Structure 1
Amino acid sequence: MIRKLLIANMLLMAVSVGASGSGEGAKASFDYFTYTGDDDYYRQNPLADKASFYNPIIPGFHPDPAICRVGDDYWLVNSTFGYFPGVPLYHSRDLVNWTLVGNVLNRPSQLPALAGQDVGKGGIYAPNISFDPQTGTYYMLTTDVGRGHFYVTTKNPMNNDWSDPVWLPAIDGIDPAFFFDDDSKAYIIYKESTEGQPKWSNHRCLRIARFDRATGQTTGAPVKFREAGVGPEERLARNEGPHIYKIDGKYYIICAEGGTGIFHSEVAYRADSVFGPYTRWSRNPMLTQRELKAGRTNPVTCTGHADIVQTPNGEWWAVFLGCRPGPGGVEQLGRETFLMPVNWSLDGFPYITQEKDTVPLMLRRNGTERREGVTFGNFTWRDDFDGRHAGPEWLSLLGPADAYASMVGGRLDIVPDEVLPQDRRTPPMLLRRIQHHKFTAETKLDFLPYPGAQAGMAVFKNEQRYYRFGLRRGMIVVERSDKGRSTSTIASVGVDSETKSVMLRTKCLGDNYEFSFSTDGGATWQTAAKGVDASFVSQRAGGFTGTMIGLYAYRQYL
């Protein structure tokens, strides 16, 4: 008992010393954060005119795009898996200029089951956004793989006031999507395991269920659509991400196939009735890059999981996911959102690419004018933390970081805590998406660490794969996550033990990182570590998310 009291008193003294020395208590205080993209492709290939744009239209970790149009407004959402808040909501009037207006799932009551899940493989899969013209209601329908399907609703997406979730216990699987027919009937299509023993790896099927607006639930027995894939062999299967459309009196289903890797594709079916029978297009897939040579310049790979939308003037466009491997094959960006026009075959099927068509990195959309502040190309993003809350770009793990992070007086304060990402709880860490192969991120930190405490910048892929670059008492450290809850030190540089103001800079050169710091307000910079392997935090680590960068604080109880 006496020993415990002595240890407790020593910890209190340590905190008191840190507080009196820093003038900010136990908080790590960040003055700003900047992110600047510097990809070679954008510098070497400038856009020709204001009607041109780069693909991906929304770069970085933005997988599984879904889109809808109401009047002149386009709305787009993406998967977020184990991140909070969930499901970014983008708005556009022309498909080229997009604005992040918020996140659909921005309250803990909307994501009650995230804690304990895998950040990169759990959580929110393949959201769908739809508008019901009969009730004037927007629906965002998705799957939390830790609990099941649910939807939230709003009358105006700009208000960021989506409802609490309505769960759909009668249907299973993943990737649900609404379809509101012009006869006022409503349906949900989704991917589910087939009955009995699977016949092959990834043996799945699609089902269509009726939706009753009065009860807010599905009704009746779902109808099985299809089990086998369409090519290059029947067992390619894994049909997922399905959508239903009614076009010129015909019903179309498009869905992804072939998994999320390089065999990914999109296929199309057509029928006279919503429940079929459906005929597959003879020239499927309607989108893929799997037939192209692996060593091509500036490749786009893994394309699929598409959604299509019609413009007011009758054009059809598609959004879909794809990947861009970086230098040396190091891929940190994750699955990104691309935009391309939809063509129609002579026999009446939609397609995006055929045979060995490549997904272009530059396109034009006539009649549009690219504005400043677009989501694509090289750009600089800066946050001076002058709001009341963190902006919609910032994400935390498995729940809100409000217990640790606050914004006061133009600064972001993060309170150190012992929780680590490996614990599958929410640590004191805020992250934003990496959106370029090459970039520089910078911040200014005010913090006098007490024993066991540190704060700084983090490069994060998943619970077991991240770098920390920060200030300890009298030391700048670069650390790598290790097995269990441990970390290994890559580099350390001594600084004055009273150093409490430091600028930190993280630079990615494509396949490696360089970490540098300044203790004199940026007049001089010193390298803490360079040539740090980027593949450690790349897609080689697995999972469905891209790499993130941001800010953290941590304390180890001694």
Structure 2
Amino acid sequence: MATTFKNPIIPGFYPDPSICRVADDYYLVTSTFEYFPGIPIFHSKDLVNWRQIGHVLSRSSQLNLDGTPNSKGIYAATIRYNKGIFYVITTFVESQTGARRNFFVTAENPDGPWSDPYWLDDCPGIDTSLFFDDDGKVYVTANRRPPGGQLYPKHMEIWLQELDLETKQLTGEKYSLWDGALKYVHAQEAPHIYKVDGRYYLLIAEGGTGFTHSITVARSESITGPYEGAKINPILTHRHLGRDYPIANVGHGDLVETSMGEWWMVCLGSRPYDGGYRNLGRESFLVPIKWEDGWPVVNPGKGIVEVEGVKPNLEEQRWPTDPVCDHFDLSDLRMQWNFIRTPRGDFWSLQERRGHLRIRLKPETITEAVNPAFIGRRQCHINFAARTKMEFSPNNRHEVAGLVLLQNTDFHYRVEYVQSEIRLIKREAGHEEILAVRPYQHQKVFLKVEAYGQVYHFYFARVPEKWEILKEDVDGRILSTDVAGGFTGAYIGMYASSNGVESSNFADFDYFEYIGLD
């Protein structure tokens, strides 16, 4: 049996992890921003091997993402368990300058069904968290602008208020708990409260979610404060390791005590490559914790999140892995598939042609803040290969179908089969360039993309394995947040559009294969 594990524990765009333990079971949730379903939930027995068991926000009645801009929508969620009920609390960010609305949902089983949202009034800020005290009281924490005003850019404070579970609303006074461990370290957010040996501990993310990200901690004898910051703050950051370290921008952590009495932290981080670009977005990592002099110390003797570390003292539990090739032979989509924003209209089916995913063309396009006819999955490896078989008969120059490698509406690659040709389109900062065109007039087409670091190769074929070059040596860096901005990682998926014109046409996908080559 292996004695070590490798980070990240959940690779690909799975940021802002939050964790809770119920007996010998561990549950973890992450952010999803403009993607639907919202908030994937994972289960583990050993903190290392995780399997997805569902989504918290899986119904349109729970999550209306219509018009949500890139990298807005569902921000950091927190999962907690109390007296037979699971709770997930999160923030819905409507737009760049619009409301930040906080809500929570509940379930008796972690795989659902989860309730419709309970929206919280007078609950400012982002990154809400829940704390259940041993006296029966429940509290919400989040961030906000300090009531006295910001002293420097992105200066925020952490606040706390009691939650009434009967009325599903906040009650009583709001308390200011924290506004920074170090002067001018900005973006105080992601607060979590724990009670350890009779003291209250406040864990905070500071420094923004980029290269200067960090985690700090404070403690108090009273839940309402005052809170004393640890002299060893920040207890975790990689900003001092330089740009070449393989794991960057670590922060946004959540603590858990195992059934064996060990303490661990899940946190986000990124794996930059080929010049520091992060196509995979922010991922979920695991790091050990030891308590010294009443303070949590991260990975003693090392102080960093390692690529490979010593496993938790828990019995290993591996899960069956998802097949690398989805033949679309189930009654519903597998959990790795997502839509952009809440799906509107009956535009996909697994029943109309058994063993195929049928995607009907929608007038909406992937260049707009809408719900296009796109079904995709996360890029989870630095090196990967993906392929599909598509049947499509375009009726006019408006109708297209194929593959998309997506960072957002303004940064992506589209492999489109349009009338009489297959083309590769690069969209960068909203400007489009056709990189390659090949004549094609067959109903069936095989499409493939291979990525080796930031070098992407695109192929097509008329018959299996007889690949023809569409375009090789394409620059993948536009799929990185370092170029495109935002908070999400790259996706790859299937797409169909009639580009503003109504259409009854469709594309059938026989299978979709994704293989990590790392």
TM-score (norm 1): 0.85
Shift of 1:197: 3.6
SS in 1 for 2:77: strand
Give the structure 2 partner of residue 43 of structure 1: none
What is the number of equivalent residue pairs in this alignment? 491
Q: 2:309 aligns with which of 363, 370, 388?
A: 363
Shift of 1:355: 8.8
Give the structure 2 partner of residue 286 of structure 1: 235
Q: Deviations over 1:163-197 (max 9, x none)?
A: 00000012111111000011111101111111244
Measure the CA separation in 2 of the matches of 1:279 and 1:528. 60
Give the structure 1 partner of residue 22 of structure 2: 70
**Match status 1:155 vs 2:108:** yes
**Match status 1:473 vs 2:419:** yes
Letter in structure 2 aligned against 1:526: E
Q: 1:537 aligns with which of 476, 479, 503?
A: 479
Map residues 101-112 of structure 1 onto 2, 5 A cutoff: 101-112=53-64
**Match status 1:462 vs 2:404:** no
Q: 1:118 aligns with which of 69, 75, 92?
A: 69
Check whether the contact 1:207–1:223 (CA below 8 A) recurs between aligned residues: yes
Measure the CA separation in 2 of the matches of 1:517 and 1:362. 38
Give the structure 2 partner of residue 307 of structure 1: 254
Give the structure 2 partner of residue 45 of structure 1: none
Letter in structure 1 aligned against 2:103: F
Shift of 1:90: 0.3
TM-aligned CA distance change 1:367 to 1:155, over 3 Å: closer
SS in 2 for 1:195: coil
Letter in structure 2 aligned against 1:554: S
Shift of 1:359: 2.0
Check whether the contact 2:429–2:484 (CA below 8 A) recurs between aligned residues: no
Give the structure 2 partner of residue 80 of structure 1: 32
Give the structure 2 partner of residue 350 of structure 1: 296
Shift of 1:248: 1.1
Check whether the contact 1:401–1:429 (CA below 8 A) recurs between aligned residues: no
Measure the CA separation in 2 of the matches of 1:294 and 1:78. 26
Higher relative contact order (CA 8 A, sep 6+): 1
SS in 2 for 1:536: helix
SS in 2 for 1:174: coil
Give the structure 2 partner of residue 201 of structure 1: 153
Moved segments of 4+, more than 4 Å: 353-356
SS in 1 for 2:47: coil
Q: 1:253 aligns with which of 194, 199, 202?
A: 202
Give the structure 2 partner of residue 271 of structure 1: 220
**Match status 1:175 vs 2:123:** no
Map residues 136-155 of structure 1 onto 2, 5 A cutoff: 136-146=84-94, 147=99, 148-155=101-108
Shift of 1:380: 6.5
Letter in structure 1 aligned against 2:69: D
**Match status 1:488 vs 2:433:** yes
Shift of 1:330: 2.4
Measure the CA separation in 1 of the matches of 2:263 and 2:370. 43
Map residues 39-78 of structure 1 onto 2, 5 A cutoff: 49-78=1-30
**Match status 1:518 vs 2:461:** yes
State the Cα RMSD in Å: 1.7
Check whether the contact 2:286–2:305 (CA below 8 A) recurs between aligned residues: no
Check whether the contact 1:323–1:334 (CA below 8 A) recurs between aligned residues: yes
Structure showing greater radius of gyration is 1
Shift of 1:368: 3.3
**Match status 1:425 vs 2:370:** yes
Q: Deviations over 1:282-324 (max 9, x none)?
A: 111111111113234xx11100000010111111111000011
Give the structure 2 partner of residue 30 of structure 1: none
Shift of 1:352: 1.4
Q: 1:331 aligns with which of 264, 275, 278?
A: 278
**Match status 1:381 vs 2:324:** yes
Measure the CA separation in 2 of the matches of 1:269 and 1:63. 23
Letter in structure 1 aligned against 2:121: P
Q: Where does the alignment leave 5 or more consecutive residues of structure 2 unmatched?
A: 502-518
Give the structure 2 partner of residue 243 of structure 1: 192
Letter in structure 2 aligned against 1:371: R
Measure the CA separation in 2 of the matches of 1:361 and 1:482. 32
Q: Deviations over 1:334-364 (max 9, x none)?
A: 000001111112x111121579744211123
Give the structure 1 partner of residue 395 of structure 2: 450
Letter in structure 2 aligned against 1:208: L
Check whether the contact 1:230–1:237 (CA below 8 A) recurs between aligned residues: no
Shift of 1:370: 5.9
Shift of 1:518: 1.1
Measure the CA separation in 2 of the matches of 1:401 and 1:443. 24
Measure the CA separation in 2 of the matches of 1:161 and 1:127. 17
Letter in structure 1 aligned against 2:88: M
Identity percentage of aligned residues: 39
Measure the CA separation in 2 of the matches of 1:180 and 1:512. 49
Letter in structure 2 aligned against 1:187: Y
Check whether the contact 2:76–2:127 (CA below 8 A) recurs between aligned residues: yes
SS in 2 for 1:162: coil
Check whether the contact 1:292–1:356 (CA below 8 A) recurs between aligned residues: no
Check whether the contact 1:288–1:353 (CA below 8 A) recurs between aligned residues: no
Shift of 1:512: 1.9
Measure the CA separation in 2 of the matches of 1:354 and 1:268. 16
SS in 2 for 1:341: strand
Measure the CA separation in 1 of the matches of 2:13 and 2:78. 17
**Match status 1:217 vs 2:153:** no
Letter in structure 2 aligned against 1:290: R
Measure the CA separation in 2 of the matches of 1:537 and 1:361. 23
Q: Deviations over 1:87-116 (max 9, x none)?
A: 00001111111111111100111112x211
SS in 1 for 2:471: strand
TM-score (norm 2): 0.91
Check whether the contact 2:455–2:473 (CA below 8 A) recurs between aligned residues: yes
Letter in structure 2 aligned against 1:188: V
Give the structure 1 partner of residue 516 of structure 2: none
| Higher normalized helix content (fraction of residues) | 1
Check whether the contact 2:244–2:276 (CA below 8 A) recurs between aligned residues: no
Measure the CA separation in 1 of the matches of 2:137 and 2:500. 59
Measure the CA separation in 1 of the matches of 2:187 and 2:428. 34
Measure the CA separation in 2 of the matches of 1:311 and 1:450. 59
Give the structure 2 partner of residue 316 of structure 1: 263
